[in-house]
Amino acid sequence: MAELIVALDFNTADDACKLAKKIQGVVPWVKVGLELFIAEGPQIVQKFKAMGFKVFLDLKLYDIPNTVKGAALSACQAGADLLTIHLSGGKRMCEEAAAVSRSHHERMKIFGVSVLTSFEEGELVGYTGKLSDLVEMMAKGASQWGVHGIVCSGHEVEKIKKTAPQLLCLTPGIRLEENKTSDDQRRVMTPRKAVLAGSDFLVVGRPITKADDPRSAAQAINDEITEAMRELNK
Residues that bind ligand C5P (CB under 6 A): 7, 9, 31, 33, 58, 113, 116-117, 151, 172-173, 183, 185, 203-207
Distance of closest approach, residue 67 Cβ to ligand C5P, in angstroms? 20
Spatial contact of 11 and 206, defined as CB atoms under 8 Å apart: no
Distance of closest approach, residue 73 Cβ to ligand C5P, in angstroms? 22
Q: CA-to-CA distance for 135 and 150, rounded, in angstroms?
A: 9
Of residues 80 and 231, the one with the C-beta less far from ligand C5P: 80
Q: In the bound complex, which residue of the shown chain has the CB atom lying closest to ligand C5P?
A: 205
Given the residues 49, 54, 60, 159, select the one marked as catalytic. Answer: 60
* Interstrand relation of 3-7 and 54-61 (parallel, antiparallel or unpaired): unpaired
Q: CA-to-CA distance for 195 and 215, rounded, in angstroms?
A: 21
* Interstrand relation of 3-7 and 168-171 (parallel, antiparallel or unpaired): unpaired
Of residues 117 and 222, the one with the C-beta less far from ligand C5P: 117
In the chain, DSSP finds a helix count (H) and a strand count (E) of: 10, 8
Distance of closest approach, residue 4 Cβ to ligand C5P, in angstroms? 11
Which whole-number Å values give the CA distances from 110 to 79, 83, 132, 135, 180, in the listed order? 13, 5, 21, 17, 32
Spatial contact of 203 and 172, defined as CB atoms under 8 Å apart: yes
60 is catalytic: yes
Of residues 212 and 233, the one with the C-beta less far from ligand C5P: 212
Question: Which has the closest alpha carbon to 139: 153, 160, 116?
Answer: 160
Distance of closest approach, residue 136 Cβ to ligand C5P, in angstroms? 15
Of residues 66 and 194, the one with the C-beta less far from ligand C5P: 194
Residues identified as active-site: 60
